[in-house]
Structure 1
Amino acid sequence: MISFRNKSRMLRRITVSRLCLFLAGTLLLLLWLTRWQLFHSHSGLESPSGSKHKHLLILSSWRSGSTFVGQLFNQNPSVFYLSEPAKAIWATMSDRSHSFLQQPMRDLLKALFLCNLSALKPYLTRSEFVSDIYDWSSSRALCSPPTCDKFQGLNLEAGQECYHVCHLTPFERAEKACLTYNHIVVKEVRFFDLKVLFPLLMDPQINLQIIHLVRDPRAILASRPITRGLKDDNNIISESYNSTGNIYTVMKKICNAQLNIYHTAVYDLPPSLMNRYVIVRYEDLMRDPMPYVKDWYKSMGLTVFPRLLSWVRHNTHWLLPKNGASLPSSKGSAILPELWRKKLNFQKVQIIQDMCQKEMDTFGYLKVKSEKEQLDRTLNVVLPRKDSWTE
Structure 2
Amino acid sequence: MTLSAKYTTWIILLIVVGLMLCIMSLEKTPVAYPQFRRFKSYHVAVDHFSPTLHNVAVPMHRIFLNKKHNGIKEHVLLTKTSSDLNTGVLDWKKQMTSKTYKGIHILATGRSGSSFLGQILANSGRVFYMFEPGRLLDKYGNRPNIQNSYEQLHRYVNMITSMYHCRFENMEVYLNALMKLSYENQIDQIPELAGLGLDVCNTKKHAGRSHNGCSPITSELMTKICKNKEFIVIKTIRISDIMNLTQLVNDNEVDFKIIHLIRDPRGMILSKLKAWFIDVKTKMKVEHRHVFDVQDLSPGMYSALDHWCKVWIKDASIGQQMVSKYMTVRYEDISMMPLMSTREIYDKLGLGEVSEHVVNWLNEHTRESRGDEYSVSRNSKLNAEKWRRDMTYMLAKRIQELEKCGKFLDRFGYIKVKRPQDLTNASLSFSGKKYQHNEYN
Q: What pairs with 1:117-132 in structure 2 (closer than 5 Å)?
A: 117-122=168-173, 131=182
How many residues were matched structurally? 314
Q: Does 1:171 align with 2:225?
A: no
1:75, 1:308 within 8 Å by CA — same for their partners in 2? yes
Give the number of the structure whose alpha-carbon radius of gyration is greater: 2
CA deviation vs aligned residue, 1:268-313 (integer Å, no higher than 9, x gap): x3xxx41110001111112222233223334334453211111111
Alpha-carbon separation, structure 2, partners of 1:292 and 1:259: 22
Superposition deviation, residue 226 in structure 1: 2.4
2:99, 2:254 within 8 Å by CA — same for their partners in 1? no
Alpha-carbon separation, structure 1, partners of 2:172 and 2:190: 18
What is the DSSP-based 3-state SS (H/G/I as helix, E as strand, rest coil) of the residue aligned with 1:249?
helix
Residue matched to 1:44: none
Unaligned runs of 5+ in 2: 1-65, 67-95, 280-297
| 1:181–1:386 distance in 2 versus 1, CA, 3 Å | closer
Superposition deviation, residue 185 in structure 1: 0.7
Q: Greater share of helix residues, 1 or 2?
A: 1
Alpha-carbon separation, structure 2, partners of 1:340 and 1:160: 40
CA deviation vs aligned residue, 1:222-264 (integer Å, no higher than 9, x gap): 1112224999xxxxxxxxxxxx994323322222211111011
Q: Does 1:375 align with 2:424?
A: yes
Residue identity over aligned pairs, in percent, reads 23
Alpha-carbon separation, structure 1, partners of 2:135 and 2:185: 8
Alpha-carbon separation, structure 2, partners of 1:148 and 1:122: 18
Q: What pairs with 1:241-260 in structure 2 (closer than 5 Å)?
A: 246-260=300-314
Residue matched to 1:333: 380
What is the DSSP-based 3-state SS (H/G/I as helix, E as strand, rest coil) of the residue aligned with 2:182?
helix
| 1:292–1:207 distance in 2 versus 1, CA, 3 Å | same
| 1:54–1:329 distance in 2 versus 1, CA, 3 Å | closer
Unaligned runs of 5+ in 1: 1-30, 32-47, 152-158, 232-243
Alpha-carbon separation, structure 2, partners of 1:370 and 1:160: 55
Alpha-carbon separation, structure 1, partners of 2:434 and 2:222: 41
Superposition deviation, residue 329 in structure 1: 4.8
Residue matched to 2:365: 315
| 1:117–1:226 distance in 2 versus 1, CA, 3 Å | farther
Q: What pairs with 1:1-391 in structure 2 (closer than 5 Å)?
A: 53-91=101-139, 92-94=143-145, 97=148, 102-122=153-173, 131=182, 136-145=187-196, 148=198, 168-172=214-218, 173-228=221-276, 246-266=300-320, 269=321, 273-298=322-347, 299-318=349-368, 329-355=376-402, 356-385=405-434
What is the DSSP-based 3-state SS (H/G/I as helix, E as strand, rest coil) of the residue aligned with 2:401?
helix
Superposition deviation, residue 215 in structure 1: 0.8
Superposition deviation, residue 103 in structure 1: 3.3
Between 1 and 2, higher relative CO (CA 8 Å, sep ≥ 6) is seen in 1
Superposition deviation, residue 198 in structure 1: 1.4
| 1:185–1:197 distance in 2 versus 1, CA, 3 Å | same
Superposition deviation, residue 186 in structure 1: 0.7
Equivalent position amino acid for 1:346 in 2: Y
Over the aligned positions, Cα root-mean-square deviation in angstroms equals: 4.0
What is the DSSP-based 3-state SS (H/G/I as helix, E as strand, rest coil) of the residue aligned with 1:227?
helix
| 1:317–1:131 distance in 2 versus 1, CA, 3 Å | closer
1:64, 1:213 within 8 Å by CA — same for their partners in 2? yes
